[in-house]
Structure formats: C-alpha cells, structure tokens
C-alpha cells in the first residue's frame, strides 16, 4: 500500500465507534440499538428532538454512564471495559465543554485553565504559565487572566472553558450545547473558534446542539437520532438533500409532518362533549 492510500485510510478512520447501544432510565428507553461512527479529524454534530439522549450519549462516550447492551470504542478501546487507571488516562485525551461552562467560581481565569495541569501533571509553574497563556491567547482572552468567572460574560465563560478543555492537548473535544444562550456576536466567535481550533490542532470535535444552522455550518458529519436510533447520517449537504420527510421536517422546523403537533389523544369532540371520565 502506498503512502497516499495509508493517508486516505487514516483520514476516514473512526475515532468513536458505537455499536448496538441500548440504554434505559427506569422504564424509559433512551437508546434502542444506536449504531454509528464518528470520523477522526472532523467536526461531527449530533442532533435530534429534545429528550432523545444526546447529552446522555456524551456521558456514555466518557464512560460516566454504562449501557445496558452494546459497545462504545474510543480510539480502539472499549471504554466500558477499561479499568480505572487506563480509563482516566483516556479521559485526559478527551476534552469536554459543558453547557454551563462549569468554571470554578473561586478561581481566576488563569487558575481555571491551569487546574487540569496542576491535577494531572508534575509540570513546573513556569511551563504551566506558558501553556495557560498560549491557550488563553488562542481564545482571545489572555488579557482576562486575572478575572473571576462572575466578571465574565456568558460568551467569555465558554471561551475560558474551551481554553481549559484544550490545555491537556486532547485528541477530541465534546461540546454540550455550546451555542445556547449566546448573543449573535458571541455565537459567531464560538463558531469560528471551534472550527479554527479543530483544524489547527487536528482535533476531532463532537457537538450536541439544537442550533441547526450554526452547527451545520462547521460540521463535516451530522448524525440525527430519534426514538433511540439513527434516523439519518451524512454530510450537511447530504442531509439537506435527503428525501426523508422526517429529516426535512426536523431541519426546516416545520410544525406539521411525520412528527405530529398533537400528542396522541381521543377524538377532540367526544373528549369535549362526551361522558368520558376526567
């Protein structure tokens, strides 16, 4: 095999492989045979109606939750069969940007970003300072190093959280609703940051988002899930051209379609005027 073929295979290799995944909360089935791959080196967005388990899936990729059946492999390792030490080592290569930012309120911006380095490495303070300032500069907030989280806007807090997620030089970053609650300028900055950081550092990014247009604008791969299974997956262009009425209703936000506006109920007239018990 020549070098070009080897490179092509590496570019399309899956970093995360999910196979026949089943998960329930009590009697509520969340995943019912979920099956898809997340390509290495791109931006994959996971979408679907509210309550379909998108954030739950991120927790399962990080092995915070265990499936009832099925497997999740990250970089060739079954995350739910790893012992504690190799699991923690793998997690250090998996950055996470929480929906709330999850900054430590009593620490400065600098110390928030430095926290993973102090916890997981024996680096000297001089090297920690160098790495933290590099990451803060990358997200445009080197000048905010001495501020506390309460002094930051929502968009700035997300950018600090991104700097913290990058500081251990991970192979992938998971974003849980990164655009929620952001004003148009902050959202534009975050979109540009996610795309540019992913390319510059050759990361794999996994985004869970309800912001369709924003997420799809930077995605190389999109997975739509509903009722515990994958409805459709492909590039943004492939999904926009899909002949699935369900996919088109979801992408266009139409109130009428395969997903009904009304929850299943008895006939309206008989329910109003009949002798049905309340």
Q: Which of 206, 210, 236, 221 is nearest to 16 (CA)?
A: 206
Partners of 96 in beta bridges = 174
Worst-scoring range by mean pLDDT, 20-29, 90-99, 107-116, 265-274?
265-274
**Phi and psi at residue 81, to the nearest 5°:** -110, 0
Residue 213, in any domain of the structure: yes
Please give the pLDDT value at position 192.
87
Please give the pLDDT value at position 96.
86
As a whole number of angstroms, the longest Cα–Cα distance in the chain is 78
Please give the pLDDT value at position 276.
54
| CB atoms inside a 10 Å sphere around CB 126 | 7
Domain count of the fold of the chain: 1
Residue 33, in any domain of the structure: yes
Residue 214, in any domain of the structure: yes
Please give the pLDDT value at position 169.
87
pLDDT digits 0-9 by tens, 11-63:
458 899 999 999 998 878 889 999 999 999 899 999 888 878 888 999 999 99
- pLDDT-derived band at 10 (thresholds 50, 70, 90) equals very low
- pLDDT-derived band at 262 (thresholds 50, 70, 90) equals low
- pLDDT-derived band at 260 (thresholds 50, 70, 90) equals low
Residue 195, in any domain of the structure: yes
pLDDT digits 0-9 by tens, 146-160:
999 999 888 888 889
* Span 241-255, average pLDDT: 82
Please give the pLDDT value at position 133.
93
What's the domain range around 224?
Answer: 3-93+170-270
4: helix, strand or coil: helix
Summary mean pLDDT of the chain: 85
Residue 14, in any domain of the structure: yes
* Span 64-82, average pLDDT: 92
Residue 71, in any domain of the structure: yes
CATH number, domain containing residue 13: 3.40.50.300
Please give the pLDDT value at position 18.
95
Structure tokens at 86: 């190799």
**DSSP label at residue 152:** S
- pLDDT-derived band at 3 (thresholds 50, 70, 90) equals very low
Please give the pLDDT value at position 61.
93
Residue 278, in any domain of the structure: no
Q: Which of 62, 57, 112 is nearest to 87 (CA)?
A: 62
């Amino acid at each position: 095999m020549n070098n070009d073929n080897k490179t092509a295979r590496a570019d399309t290799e899956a970093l995360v492989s999910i196979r026949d995944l089943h998960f329930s909360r009590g009697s509520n089935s969340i995943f019912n045979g979920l099956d898809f791959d997340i390509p290495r080196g791109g931006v994959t967005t996971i979408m679907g109606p509210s309550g379909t388990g998108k954030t739950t899936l991120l927790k399962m990729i990080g092995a915070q939750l265990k499936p009832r059946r099925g497997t999740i492999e990250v970089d060739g390792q079954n995350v739910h069969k790893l012992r504690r030490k190799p699991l923690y080592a793998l997690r250090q290569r998996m950055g996470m940007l929480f929906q709330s930012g999850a900054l430590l309120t009593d620490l400065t911006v600098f110390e928030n970003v430095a926290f993973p380095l102090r916890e997981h490495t024996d680096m000297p303070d001089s090297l920690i300072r160098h790495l933290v300032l590099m990451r803060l500069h990358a997200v445009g907030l080197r000048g905010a190093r001495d501020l506390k989280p309460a002094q930051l806007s929502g968009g700035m807090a997300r950018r600090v959280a991104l700097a913290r997620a990058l500081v251990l030089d991970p192979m992938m970053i998971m974003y849980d609703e990164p655009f929620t609650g952001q004003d148009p300028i902050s959202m534009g900055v975050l979109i540009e940051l996610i795309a540019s950081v992913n390319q510059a550092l050759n990361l794999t990014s996994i985004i869970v988002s309800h912001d369709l247009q924003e997420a799809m604008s930077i995605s190389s791969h999109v997975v739509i899930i509903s009722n515990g299974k994958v409805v459709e997956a492909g590039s943004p262009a492939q999904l926009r051209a899909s002949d699935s009425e369900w996919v088109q209703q979801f992408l266009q936000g139409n109130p009428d379609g395969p997903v009904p506006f009304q929850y299943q109920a008895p006939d309206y007239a008989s329910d109003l005027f009949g002798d049905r018990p309340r």
